[in-house]
C-alpha cells in the first residue's frame, strides 16, 4: 500500500497507472464527490465501492467546483488539500484525483474505469460519465448521514 501522500495523483501519472492496471487485468472502480466533512456514510460507500474491484480511484471536486454545486457560499468547509489528504489516508482508497469541472465527465472519458459507483439517490440517466465506464453500480446510502444535515445540526438548525 502506498503512503497516503503518494495516493494523490495528477492525471498524467494516473493515466499511466490506469494502463498498467489494465494490462494486469485489475478491475478499476471510480467514484467521486465533494467529501467535505467525511462521515460514516462516505466511508461505507467507499468501502463497498472498493469491494467491487481491485483499485479504487476517488475523484474529488475542487473548492470552486464544490461551490458551483450550490451547497452554500461557505462550502466546502474543508479545503481541497485537506479533503484529498483525508481520503488518501483511507485504506479503501488507492488513488485520489481532483477535478475542477462540475462533473467528472471529462476525467472519466480519459480514465475509462471498469466500474463507476454513485449513490442510489442518482437515477441512471443522471450519472455523469456513465458512458465512459464498463458498468455503473448504484449503492444504497446510509440513512441519516449527510454533510449538509450534519452542518445544519451543528448550527442548531435541525
What CATH number did the domain enclosing 8 receive?
Answer: 3.40.50.620
pTM, full prediction: 0.91
pLDDT of 115 reads 98
Band the pLDDT of 8: cuts 50, 70, 90: very high
When pLDDT is averaged across residues 3-16 and rounded to a whole number, the result is 93
Domain that holds residue 46: 4-154
| Per-residue pLDDT at 22 | 97
Q: What is the mean pLDDT of residues 32-39?
A: 90
Higher pLDDT, 119 or 19: 19
Q: How many domains does the chain have?
A: 1
Average pLDDT, integer, range 130-154: 79
- Alpha-carbon dihedral 14, 16, 19, 21, rounded to 10 degrees: -60
Lowest mean pLDDT among 95-99, 105-109, 150-154: 150-154
Amino acid at each position: 500500500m502506498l503512503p497516503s501522500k503518494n495516493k494523490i495523483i495528477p492525471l498524467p501519472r494516473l493515466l499511466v497507472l490506469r494502463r498498467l492496471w489494465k494490462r494486469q487485468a485489475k478491475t478499476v472502480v471510480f467514484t467521486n464527490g465533494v467529501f467535505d466533512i467525511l462521515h460514516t456514510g462516505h466511508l461505507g460507500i467507499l468501502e463497498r465501492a472498493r469491494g467491487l474491484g481491485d483499485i479504487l480511484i476517488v475523484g474529488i471536486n475542487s473548492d470552486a467546483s464544490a461551490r458551483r454545486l450550490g451547497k452554500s457560499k461557505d462550502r466546502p468547509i474543508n479545503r481541497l488539500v485537506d479533503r484529498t489528504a483525508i481520503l488518501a489516508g483511507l485504506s479503501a482508497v488507492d488513488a485520489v484525483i481532483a477535478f475542477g469541472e462540475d462533473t467528472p465527465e471529462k476525467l472519466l472519458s480519459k480514465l475509462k474505469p471498469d466500474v463507476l459507483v454513485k449513490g442510489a439517490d442518482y437515477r441512471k440517466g443522471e450519472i455523469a460519465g456513465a458512458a465512459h465506464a464498463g458498468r455503473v453500480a448504484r449503492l444504497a446510502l446510509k440513512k441519516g448521514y449527510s454533510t449538509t444535515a450534519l452542518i445544519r445540526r451543528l448550527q442548531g438548525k435541525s
